[in-house]
Amino acid sequence: MATKPNRKKIIKVVFFLTALAPLAVFSHIVVLHHFKTLPLKPSPAPKTALIIHPELIYPIHQYQKLGSRYKWGTNDCSTFVTDYLRASGKPTFKRLVTADLYDSRTMRMQGFAETSEEKLRPGDIIVFRYTGRYNTMQGHVGIVIDSGRDNQVIHNSLTHRGLKVESVSSFLNVAHRVADRRGDGKMVKFFTRSDYAVWEIGYKHRKSKATATNS
């Protein structure tokens, strides 16, 4: 049985979480409404991809707002994907690093479940971990997008000095080549939206609209 002091702590925690829940929902609604109308400079992502994936508009706008170039810690690959999660999954109040994005439990909290390379589809996230400079564990992450004709990956890359769109195979070649090996294989993970069945309805509608516009 909980003591009186413990009861007070429990009541405080419950009260705090209850107060925080509406704020989280409100923040998410604001982001979802805001990213649909943000002005964009010439986008590094194809116009068709922005129609099909409106969730990309917010992270690209944030990237441009921070200087349209890669900057570790403030405008890097994980920052870009964190903003993507804010626009398409549950709101996150902190900047996730690649260690977080590689963690299946953390990603479940953001509305993404682990999947396989063979089942990759638009909207999915690819993240890999490797031993970098000074023998420290580092990582990289990208988002699978439908460009209208094929699937590609968009990612904020130090090597490319900013946002880069390339083929899925090209991105995966690098991932499998540099990723560390742990346990049964390379440290490469794939995540898909937990609500993909619902999201796919809107995705197919937007793709049909984009196809009609470009035909």
pLDDT in tens, 22-36: 434 334 444 444 455
The number of folded domains in the chain is 2
| pLDDT score of 13 | 42
Residue 130 contacts residue 117 (beta carbons within 8 Å): no
Q: Residues with Cβ < 8 Å from 6, sequence gap 6 or more? A: none
Identify whether 202 is part of a domain.
yes
Q: Strand 137-146: give its sheet, edge to edge.
A: 112-115, 188-193, 125-131, 137-146, 151-157, 162-167
Sign of CA dihedral 162, 146, 202, 213: positive
Examine the domain organization and report whether 105 and 6 are in the same domain. no
- Boundaries of domain holding 198: 46-214
pLDDT of residue 215: 54
Residue 92, pLDDT score: 78
How far apart CA 13 and CA 207 sit, in angstroms, is 44
One domain for residues 7 and 64 = no
Q: Which of 187, 193, 59 is nearest to 127 (CA)?
A: 187
Check pLDDT > 80 for residue 10: no
What is the mean pLDDT of the segment spanning 43-57?
91
pTM: 0.81
Q: Do 29 and 65 belong together in one domain? A: no
Mean pLDDT is lowest, of 96-100, 135-139, 181-185, 211-215, for 211-215
pLDDT in tens, 183-206: 778 999 999 999 999 999 999 999
pLDDT value at position 88?
85
In the predicted model, what is the mean pLDDT of residues 108-122? Answer: 95
Q: Are 70 and 156 in contact (CB under 8 A)?
A: yes
Do the beta carbons of residue 74 and residue 66 sit within 8 Å?
A: yes
Residues 9 and 67 in one domain: no
Whether residues 50 and 105 fall in one domain: yes
Q: For position 168, what pLDDT does the model report?
A: 97
74 and 150, same domain (yes or no): yes
More confident position, 159 or 21 = 159
Residue 199 inside a domain? The answer is: yes
Q: Which regions of the chain does DSSP assign to beta strands (E)?
A: 112-115, 125-131, 137-146, 151-157, 162-167, 181-182, 185-186, 188-193
Residue 41 domain-assigned (yes or no) = no
CB atoms inside a 10 Å sphere around CB 101 = 25
Is 71 inside any structural domain? yes
Q: What is the distance between the alpha carbons of residues 130 and 148, in angstroms, rounded to a whole number?
A: 32
The pLDDT of residue 134 is 82
Q: Which of 46-50, 132-136, 159-163 has the lowest mean pLDDT?
A: 132-136
Q: How far apart are CA 18 and CA 30, in angstroms?
A: 19
Q: Is 137 among the domain residues?
A: yes
Q: What percent of the chain has pLDDT over 70?
A: 80
- Residues 76, 175, single domain; the answer is yes
Same-domain check for residues 25 and 50: no
- For residues 23 and 84, membership in a common domain is answered with no
Task: Clarify whether residues 111 and 69 are in a common domain.
Answer: yes
Confirm whether 30 is domain-assigned. Answer: yes
- Quick check: 1 pLDDT over 60? no
* Residues 156 and 191 both lie in one domain: yes
Look at residue 21 in the predicted model and tell me its pLDDT.
Answer: 42
Q: How confident is the model at residue 146 (pLDDT cuts 50, 70, 90)?
A: very high
Q: What is the mean pLDDT of residues 157-184?
A: 93
Same domain, 89 and 180: yes
pLDDT surpassing 50 at residue 17: no
Task: Note whether residue 88 is domain-resident.
Answer: yes
Bridge partner residues of 186 (DSSP): 181
What's the pLDDT at 89? 72
Query: For the chain, what is the total number of helices (H) and then of strands (E)?
Result: 8, 8
Q: Using CA atoms, how far apart are residues 166 and 152, in angstroms rounded to an integer?
A: 6
